């Protein structure tokens, strides 16, 4: 697709109030703060904007990629050669009726946790402090402390790449630990409904504060460190670990904290968190370091780590198409 075609798309979407940036650096849209250019970056904050954008791109035969909050994403230094939709908002779209909470896929997961706490809705507080959007959280079935978003999910509004809409229940998503069919189907979560439970707001506020403090003690402050949180999934019970265990434990024992590739290093307080350790760090450095770390765990424990962070764009490795390192 040529520049004139991208200009035409940007003008049409802009006329509808959708913000577009031509030839934009993707590093500004990820918590790794890494990544090359895309020819057109389209900002969609609300479900109707997302639907309008996907409809236009489908009608014009334009291939595109989609990102959310960029907190679980590593973008290639080469960027991507097609438009990228950023479906995220700083203004949460969330409401509730009784115990059912409706939210846009663009809303941050932590904002939903805060809303639920303040409105006396229990069952979502464990997501406090987890970066990223609701849409991304459902695709990856995110969670913490033994709880996953799929546990409270009632329905999901999906949009496919051809603009077809459907609402499905959680049973259609193939939800499992940090995974769902959505990763392979490449459908987009426009919005979702969760069913929560009644709770004491004061107790829930105290629990949220405890969780936020706990995360702050173990995880990097994203305003100071460029990273994507835990890079690998925890170890499944079907592996040599026999039960689910923290990947960080095995990485620590394998000496991951001392590993470094180019400008990429490992966070001193958490062996499963790769950080951009210098200004000259590249996305390729991050991926190469992750493979070195995974190889160390495999050699020492005969355990295969599975990457939790998602990749976008081309890297110097033929085996990056799957989640497996």
Give residue-wise pLDDT tens across range 67-89: 999 999 999 999 999 999 999 99
Residue with the larger pLDDT of the pair 14 and 322? 14
Set 46, 178, 208, 233: catalytic member = 178
Q: Are 150 and 175 in contact (CB under 8 A)?
A: yes
Collapsed DSSP state (helix, strand, coil) of residue 160: coil
Query: Which residues belong to CATH 3.30.465.10 in the chain?
Result: 94-216
For the chain, the average pLDDT equals 93
pLDDT at 321 over 60: no
pLDDT at 196 over 60: yes
Set 230, 233, 282, 290: catalytic member = 230
Query: Which residues belong to CATH 3.90.78.10 in the chain?
Result: 220-312
Low-confidence winner among 25-34, 240-249, 294-303 (lowest mean pLDDT): 240-249
Within 13 Å, how many C-alpha atoms sit on residue 91's CB side? 4
CATH number of 3-87, picked from 3.30.70.20, 3.20.20.140, 3.30.43.10, 2.160.20.60: 3.30.43.10
Percent of the chain with pLDDT over 70: 95
Annotation says 48 is catalytic: no
CATH number of 94-216, picked from 3.10.180.10, 3.40.140.10, 3.30.465.10, 3.10.20.310: 3.30.465.10
Closest Cα to residue 65, out of 50, 76, 80? Answer: 80
How far apart are the C-alpha atoms of 208 and 128, rounded to whole Å?
6
How far apart are the C-alpha atoms of 272 and 223, rounded to whole Å?
19
Collapsed DSSP state (helix, strand, coil) of residue 190: strand
Q: Are 87 and 67 in contact (CB under 8 A)?
A: yes
The first and second tokens of residue 225, run together, are 């460190």
Annotation says 93 is catalytic: no
Query: Which residues belong to CATH 3.30.43.10 in the chain?
Result: 3-87
pLDDT tens digits, 217-272: 989 999 899 999 999 999 876 544 455 689 999 999 999 999 999 999 999 999 99
The confidence score (pLDDT) of residue 185 equals 86
Q: What is the pTM of this model?
A: 0.92
Annotation says 12 is catalytic: no
Q: What CATH number should be reported for the domain whose range is 220-312?
A: 3.90.78.10
């Amino acid at each position: 697709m040529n520049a004139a075609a991208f200009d035409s798309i940007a003008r049409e979407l802009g006329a509808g109030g959708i913000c577009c940036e031509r030839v934009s650096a993707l590093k500004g849209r990820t918590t790794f703060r890494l990544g090359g250019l895309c020819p057109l970056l389209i900002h969609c904050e609300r479900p109707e904007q997302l639907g309008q954008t996907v409809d236009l791109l489908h009608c014009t035969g334009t291939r595109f990629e989609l990102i959310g909050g960029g907190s679980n994403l590593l973008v290639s230094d080469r960027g991507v050669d097609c438009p990228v939709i950023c479906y995220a908002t700083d203004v949460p779209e969330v409401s509730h009726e009784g115990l059912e909470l409706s939210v846009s896929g663009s809303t941050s997961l932590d904002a939903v946790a805060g809303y639920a706490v303040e409105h006396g809705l229990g069952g979502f507080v464990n997501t406090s402090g987890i970066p990223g959007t609701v849409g991304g959280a459902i695709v990856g079935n995110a969670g913490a402390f033994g709880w996953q978003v799929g546990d409270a999910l009632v329905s999901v509004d999906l949009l496919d790449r051809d603009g077809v809409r459907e609402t499905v229940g959680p049973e259609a998503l193939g939800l499992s630990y940090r995974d769902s069919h959505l990763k392979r189907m490449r459908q987009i979560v426009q919005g979702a409904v969760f069913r929560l439970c009644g709770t004491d707001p004061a107790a829930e506020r105290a629990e949220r504060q405890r969780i936020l403090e706990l995360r702050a003690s173990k995880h990097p402050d994203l305003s100071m460190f460029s990273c994507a949180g835990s890079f690998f999934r925890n170890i499944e019970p079907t592996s040599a670990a026999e039960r689910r265990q923290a990947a960080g434990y095995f990485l620590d024992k394998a000496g991951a904290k001392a590993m470094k590739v180019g400008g990429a290093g490992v966070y001193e307080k958490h062996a499963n968190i790769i950080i951009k350790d210098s200004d000259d760090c590249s996305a390729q450095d991050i991926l190469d370091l992750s493979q070195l770390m995974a190889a160390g765990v495999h050699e020492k424990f005969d355990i295969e780590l599975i990457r939790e962070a998602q990749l976008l764009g081309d890297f110097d490795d033929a085996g990056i198409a799957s989640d497996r390192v």
